[in-house]
Structure 1
Amino acid sequence: MSFSNILVAYDGGSPSMKALDKAIEMVRQNPEAKLTVLFVYSVAAVAVADSVVALPVSVQQEQFDQARELLSAAELRIISLPNARTEFMEGSPGESIVNYANQHQCDLIVVGSRGLGAIREFVMGSVSHYVLQHTLLPLLVVK
């Protein structure tokens, strides 16, 4: 089966790098296909007792800058592909991935099996699991 508009979720972690590698391989086999690398940045917060406290602005800015650097590394990996681009969004990763795929008529979503946030994954469920439960599109989970 050939896909023409592939979305890969990317967070800079090893599983997402493998997902990106697989998506690049698929696009190289079908040079007409479009590839979008989506990085969803979410502002970290700290749970204290029964409250959620935002991190200081300086820490948030540092995390934002790190996210941009990670996406820049992905840009370098796709620079030779004619129909490839990156997107940077802020929000809930799972929701943002599903919404982006629907809004941009993607026909395949590629994700890594685990993201960078192990504690968040334990508490809230993994992004790949969220996408699996909320999309009607084909989903490739790369281990």
Structure 2
Amino acid sequence: MIYSKIVVAYDGSEISEKALDSAIKLAKLNHFSHLEIIHVINIPKYVVGEAVYIPPVEINSDYSEQIVAQIQKSLLNPDNTHIEIRQGSPAQTILEYADEVHADLIVIGSRGLNAISEFILGSVSHNVVQHAKIPVLVVK
């Protein structure tokens, strides 16, 4: 199957590096594939009684530059790639971004940086697989 636009979820973990590597290989096979790499900064929410408090969070430009530099080390052809950094709920933001760019495949690692919250809350990859309208490749 030929995928013209592949969204790759990237959080800096070893598994997300493997997911990025898999997406790069798929893009090479398809010659015309465009990679959309998204890094989502999770915004914490606090529930106090019936109120939900979301503290103001600014994207740390140094951290963002580190993530972009880390991604660019893995890329052989950065011309056919876009790197996006967003804030929000990771699974929801990945799905919204895939829809926004009209992707036809999502590539995501099976685990992220925070295995404890994945165990308690359900993993990002599981939520993406359950709610995606397009194929999802989960990399272990």
- The alignment's TM-score, normalised by the length of structure 1, stands at 0.83
Q: Tell me the SS of whatever aligns to 1:82.
A: helix
Inter-CA distance 15–136: structure 2 relative to 1 (3 Å threshold)? same
The equivalent position to 1:132 in structure 2, one of 129, 133, 138, is 129
Indicate conservation of the 8 Å contact 1:75/1:85, yes or no. no
Indicate conservation of the 8 Å contact 2:10/2:38, yes or no. yes
Equivalent residue for 1:84? 81
CA displacement at 1:18 relative to structure 2: 0.3
Once the two structures are aligned, what percentage of the paired residues are identical?
40
Distance 1:46 1:70 in 2: 26
Equivalent residue for 2:97? 100
Distance 2:121 2:133 in 1: 21
Aligned residues between the structures: 138
Give a deviation string over 1:81-116, Cα, whole Å, max 9, x none.
431110000000000000111111000000000000
Distance 2:62 2:46 in 1: 19
Write the letter of the residue equivalent to 1:40.
V
CA displacement at 1:70 relative to structure 2: 2.2
Equivalent residue for 1:72? 69
Distance 1:46 1:117 in 2: 18
